[in-house]
Homo-oligomer: A and B are copies of this chain.
């Protein structure tokens, strides 16, 4: 079983509750990656809605997630013809790690029709000209799960060189070559180092308050092109927007999160 399927495996323990286990090394400094947590919660809601694809999911993060047992509780609040909406919680021990609200559907049934796309995928060098991390980062075990190569223009990050612009872009896929599906997009939507790390003076833990992912299409096989950026860093918070494109040139997901600047 792939690492992502192991992460998101859940067993029913009642009508609307499921038990899972977060394996080791999905963390950054002990805190499980927010996209990984949202993927587990999304898998739970996806199952209770009985629809194949997350369409829009939002998580509010309440406490750090840790490796080990996890429970997902959910409730379907509407099951319509085209979509089903559910609300839920991911819990560890006696506390909520996150709350989630999501709408699910079947993207294969929505393909085609009217089209007007003005957004463009990021201009990226070919994957073999992009830069993998070549320095140890033992505090970020999570990075082992994914194969991320960055545009040389922003890859100085790996060596502590800041570009001064809050942008990161590159290519991403699973390290174990698991195919990317719509559930995996929820993970990918919070998988890059924060774009604000390219700004002078921003170092440290940047906790996510809220993350919303729109899944817009089933990804074609192959790595994704990804671009994240933050344009509004002020008053203790910043947004981070992400766009994710598949090999066919289609936008497959958008993400936006609101996060907190490191105090100091």
Chain A interface (Cβ < 8 Å from any Cβ of B): 55-56, 58, 60, 62-63, 77-78, 83, 85, 87, 89, 96, 99-103, 107, 110-119, 165-166, 196, 199, 201-202, 209-210, 212, 214, 216-217, 231-237, 239, 250-251, 254, 256, 258, 261
Chain B residues positioned under 8 Å from A217 (CB to CB) = 234-235
CA distance A236 to B100 in the complex (A): 24
CA distance A202 to B114 in the complex (A): 9
Other than the given A110-B237, A114-B234, A114-B236, 9 more pairs (CB < 8 A) read A58-B58, A62-B77, A83-B209, A101-B101, A115-B234, A116-B233, A118-B166, A210-B214, A214-B256
Chain B residues positioned under 8 Å from A119 (CB to CB) = 231-232
CA distance A86 to B5 in the complex (A): 31
A117 touching B231, Cβ below 8 Å: yes
CA distance A16 to B252 in the complex (A): 39
A55 touching B87, Cβ below 8 Å: no
A235 touching B107, Cβ below 8 Å: yes
A55 touching B209, Cβ below 8 Å: yes
Q: How far is the CB of A255 from chain B (nearest CB, A)?
A: 10
CA distance A214 to B217 in the complex (A): 25
Q: How far is the CB of A122 from chain B (nearest CB, A)?
A: 14
B209 touching A103, Cβ below 8 Å: yes
